[in-house]
Amino acid sequence: MSKSPVDALVAARKSGHGLPAGFYHDAEIFERDLQQIFLAGWQYAGHVSQLPKIGDYLLFEMAGESVIVVRSEAGYRALLNVCRHRGSRICQQQQGQAKRLVCPYHGWSYALSGELLAAAELSDEVDRSRLGLKRVALDEIEGLLFINFAAKPSPFRILRHRMGGALKAHGLADLKVAHSIDYSINANWKLAVENYCECYHCRPSHKAYSKGHQLAVPRDQWLEGQAQANQLAKASGFSQMVDGTWLNAPKAGLECQYAHYPLVNGHVTGSEDGQPVAPLIGSLQAPVALATDFQLGPNLFGLIYSDHAVLYRFLPVSVAETVCQVSWLVRAGAREGQDYALPKLIWLWDTTTREDKTIIEQNQLGVSSRYYRPGPFTSMEVFASRFVDWYLARLDGQNHDVIAGR
């Protein structure tokens, strides 16, 4: 039996090297990516601070799918934004407030929990209880809301057990989203994630970031800094490393990681001058020269400082377009203009992400060349190499049913 084009690409990848070009522009592979990774894994949908009242909702949108994440009387719900009558989108604003969810096309209305409430002229013989909005799985860890399209999702309780204690020390549930920016990147999602997973490019590409972050140094120096970081983390009451990322995940779709590294050159946070830009978070009584990295699911990465947290979410739009959403979180009671200035809060990671957008898009142009051949990973790209190994293993897995009968 002859191999499919996808199987041939998988077989062509040389161990310890990057992916062949087809992985970044092949439509069949992109569809497999959606099925095996994004529709089967836990996806960060938002923070509880964005839904403070009953009736508050936000939309999670990815690769043509739209989900209404709403706070109902019975708690948070995740509902497909697809009317059960003719399929129209119901909610069209990214965030809003509603007493009930009303389809603008023919007026069918639904409770915040998804049940059909009214449908004019619908026959009394139709079982309305079977026409509620379809639900997707939803769960929470330390104020972070996650959804999953799979009919039988990986058990989120495993993720909560492994990561909940570590994240709790930073007070993530007691934060609020101060600002978010969606950066549209004209490149395949894998190039965006690979770029995030290595700091080999930091010194050439991110001058501001490299001033204060120890990840930008060669790997041998980075390893030396780990002992210092772990001691500082212990003294601050933080947990030690959790390594459940990529192929070390406890179960597919439950990728997770938690680790620390030192800030240098007098920096105690991620800002233009390295000095605090917002009130302290968690249980800290004073700033510490420490950065904490974490990962939850296949495409959410976080960075926690003494005074704020930054979340990176990568969402595929098409085979050669990705949205990188960056969110900045501060203490819930902090007041913009008094306790923090938004331009100072976002400066470093807005600058860095705009730089990343440029280099990732140039990377996409390069791998699209008919002459491109992937080269070997270096010692500073270990995490990116592990991502590629994980990706190929996930791509080769069995298909997952999505929202069947839900």
In a domain, 216, yes or no: yes
Of the CA atoms within 13 Å of residue 219, those in its CB half-sphere come to 9
Looking at residue 2, its pLDDT comes to: 54
Task: Specify the range with the lowest mean pLDDT, choosing from 113-122, 158-167, 223-232.
Answer: 223-232
pLDDT band at residue 7 using 50, 70 and 90 as cut-offs: confident
In a domain, 80, yes or no: yes
On whether both 214 and 348 belong to a single domain, the answer is yes
In a domain, 361, yes or no: yes
On whether both 124 and 162 belong to a single domain, the answer is no
On whether both 107 and 52 belong to a single domain, the answer is yes
Looking at residue 404, its pLDDT comes to: 44
Each residue of 229-251: pLDDT tens digit?
888 899 899 988 999 999 999 99
Each residue of 292-303: pLDDT tens digit?
999 999 999 999
Each residue of 131-157: pLDDT tens digit?
999 999 999 999 999 999 999 999 999
On whether both 130 and 218 belong to a single domain, the answer is no
Which residue segment(s) compose the domain that 228 sits in? 158-395
In a domain, 19, yes or no: no
Chosen domain end from 109, 138, 167:
138
Is residue 165 predicted with pLDDT exceeding 90?
A: yes
On whether both 177 and 121 belong to a single domain, the answer is no
Each residue of 380-395: pLDDT tens digit?
899 999 999 999 999 8
In a domain, 22, yes or no: no
Q: Residues 113, 76: contact at Cβ < 8 Å?
A: no
pLDDT band at residue 3 using 50, 70 and 90 as cut-offs: low
In a domain, 365, yes or no: yes
On whether both 202 and 249 belong to a single domain, the answer is yes
Each residue of 28-62: pLDDT tens digit?
999 999 999 999 999 999 999 999 999 999 999 99
In a domain, 401, yes or no: no
Give the CATH number of the domain where residue 47 resides. Answer: 2.102.10.10
Smallest CA-to-CA distance from 42 within 292, 311, 251, 220 is with 251
As for how many domains the chain has, the answer is 2
In a domain, 151, yes or no: no
In the block, tokens 């947990």 appear at: 239
Is residue 402 predicted with pLDDT exceeding 60?
A: no
Q: How far apart are CA 35 and CA 170, in angstroms?
A: 33
The 10 Å Cβ neighbour count of residue 18 is: 23
